[in-house]
Structure 1
Amino acid sequence: MREIRIAASVIERADGKIALVRKRGTSAFMQPGGKLEPGEAAIDAVVREVKEELGLHLEGPLEPLGRFSATAANEPGSQVFADIFWCRCDEEPVVQAEIEELRWIDPNAPGDLVLAPLTRDHILPALLRRRQG
């Protein structure tokens, strides 16, 4: 199985909703982020990817939410290994690059969206645990 190393962000706005994105030609929603470039630190990768995908400049505190792995949503036969960072951001994102759609969801009730395994099985539960203190 192929291993993919990524960094992604849980971008939360003041009302507690978080941003999920869907890449062009795919069906699963996931956190903004992407693959690390050779020699790139995870935190630098997430800042770069969020700027490329949503035009946001993540400057505020980026808090590590955890390191998780799951079956890749969009690359069959691959496993993603992800460093996830949480941040508050009230700037309005602009969908660009390979992103086709952005949705703000309540992590307690994501609705009927198709969620990437990493988001569904690891990131949302970690975020809810973080909120419980």
Structure 2
Amino acid sequence: MNERIVVGAALYDDEGRLLAARRSAPPELAGGWELPGGKVEPGERCEDALVRELREELGVEAEPTGRVPGQWPLPKGYALRVWTARLVSGEPRPLEDHDELRWLTPDRIWSVDWLTADVPAVTAVALARSRAVS
């Protein structure tokens, strides 16, 4: 894979709440909120990277359930792709690069200060979710 891809999870709980993670590192991103996830390693499928990253960052097992249409540019030549995912086991906790997690109901999705680069992806996630539950 020649592209530098970052995967993000629109991770929902049984109540339909979206998980947001507040960055603690690196310093230029600290305090901003994002969809949890991380970089795809060479030779790794995006879905496998997502499962691995959620295990490493949050201590949970999750299952990707579908791709959110679109791809969004990130700094340093990366691109963000997002999947919806369901929690299979574990209780999310901030293990790496995050200091707080919040479950957001659909009416509270914009109550956190999303990282600028994540705003278009979160908008797409919200739109995809509203279509799925309509």
Q: TM-score, length-normalised on structure 2?
A: 0.78
Q: CA RMSD in A?
A: 2.3
Contact (CA 8 Å) 2:74, 2:80: kept in 1 or not? Answer: no
- Whether contact under 8 Å (1:107, 1:128) holds in the other structure is no
Match of 1:83 among 81, 84, 100: 81
- What residue identity is the alignment partner of 2:17? K
Residue 95 of structure 1: how far off its partner (Å):
1.6
Query: Given that residues 71 and 117 in structure 1 are in contact (C-alpha distance below 8 angstroms), is that contact kept between their aligned partners in structure 2?
Result: no
The runs of at least 4 consecutive aligned structure 1 residues that moved more than 6 Å come to none
The percent of aligned pairs where both chains have the same amino acid is 26
Distance (Å, rounded) in 2 between the aligned partners of 1:103 and 1:22 = 8
- Asked if structure 2 preserves the Cα contact closer than 8 Å seen for 1:68 and 1:118, the reply is no
Unaligned runs of 5+ in 2: none
Query: What is the one-letter code of the residue matched to 2:79?
Result: F
Number of residue pairs matched by the alignment: 125
Q: String of CA shifts for 1:66-97, please: whole Å, max 9, x gaps.
A: 3321344xxxxx35412211022274212212
Does 1:37 pair with 2:46? Answer: no
For residues 88-126 of structure 1, the C-alpha deviation after alignment (integer angstroms, 9 at most, x for no partner) is 227421221222111111244334421023432233333
Counterpart in the other structure of 1:15? 15
Greater helix share, structure number: 2
Tell me, yes or no, if the aligned pair for 2:72 and 2:120 is still in contact at 8 Å. Answer: no
Aligned pair partner of 2:50 in 34, 37, 46: 46
Uncovered stretches (5+) of structure 1, i.e. residues with no partner:
73-77
Deviation (angstroms), 1:128: 2.3
Q: Which SS does the other structure have where 1:87 is aligned?
A: strand
**Mapped contact 1:70–1:117 kept (Cα < 8 A):** no
